[in-house]
């Protein structure tokens, strides 16, 4: 009787584990499916950080953003002012550039970037808006730009002395 009770106990433990794992796999698959619907297909992204050794020689044919400047200083401004600056750039590479994300270091800074592929030779801007409300003193805010180019990550900086 004791052996039967122990076997039954292990059976229920195994059955419970199997149920938990199968539910977790279903949730992971649904999450992956949702991610694929909300992002660009990876066939459009030719990121040098993911290239195999065989294709490293193709790095010279990748897209590249060349910015006119990557730092802008608004100078002295009054608390509460909302200012914007357009960071100009050109795709100086050989392939289209896709900006995957532009992320600010602070909620007071908002980047707006092109949501479409940027052809070689094409010039565009990334508009960065800074809200100085409650930000008295020296301010330096960063915006990280992630692309499918080389380099894959760029950083833009805005500065201001809020009085």
3-state secondary structure of 94: coil
| Whole-number Å distance between alpha carbons of 59 and 86 | 29
Give the pLDDT confidence score for residue 62 in this predicted structure: 87
| In 38-150, alpha helices (H) | none
Domains and their CATH numbers in the chain: 2-58 (no CATH), 60-162 (2.60.40.10)
Long-range contacts of 34-41 (CB under 8 A, 24+ apart): 40/98, 40/100
pLDDT in tens, 37-74: 444 444 445 555 555 444 444 555 689 999 999 999 99
CA dist 95 and 141 (Å) reads 30
Q: Note the pLDDT tens digit of each residue in 81-127.
A: 999 999 999 999 999 999 999 999 999 999 999 999 999 999 999 99
Min mean pLDDT across 24-28, 77-81, 105-109, 134-138 is at 24-28
pLDDT of residue 16: 56
pLDDT at 24 over 70: no
CB 93 within 8 A of CB 117: no
Q: Which helix (H) or strand (E) holds 160?
A: strand 153-162
């Amino acid at each position: 009787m004791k052996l039967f009770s122990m076997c039954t106990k292990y059976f229920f433990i195994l059955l419970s584990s199997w149920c938990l794992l199968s539910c977790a796999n279903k949730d992971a698959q649904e999450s992956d499916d949702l991610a694929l619907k909300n992002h660009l297909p990876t066939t459009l992204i030719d990121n040098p950080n993911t290239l195999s050794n065989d294709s490293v020689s193709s790095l010279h044919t990748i897209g590249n953003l060349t910015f006119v400047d990557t730092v802008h200083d608004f100078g002295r401004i009054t608390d509460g002012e909302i200012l914007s600056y357009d960071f100009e750039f050109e795709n100086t590479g050989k392939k289209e550039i896709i900006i995957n994300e532009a992320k600010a270091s602070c909620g007071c800074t908002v980047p707006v970037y092109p949501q479409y592929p940027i052809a070689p030779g094409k010039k565009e801007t990334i508009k960065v808006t800074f809200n100085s409300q409650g930000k008295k003193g020296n301010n330096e805010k960063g915006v990280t730009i992630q692309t499918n180019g080389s380099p894959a990550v760029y950083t833009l900086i805005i500065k201001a002395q809020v009085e």
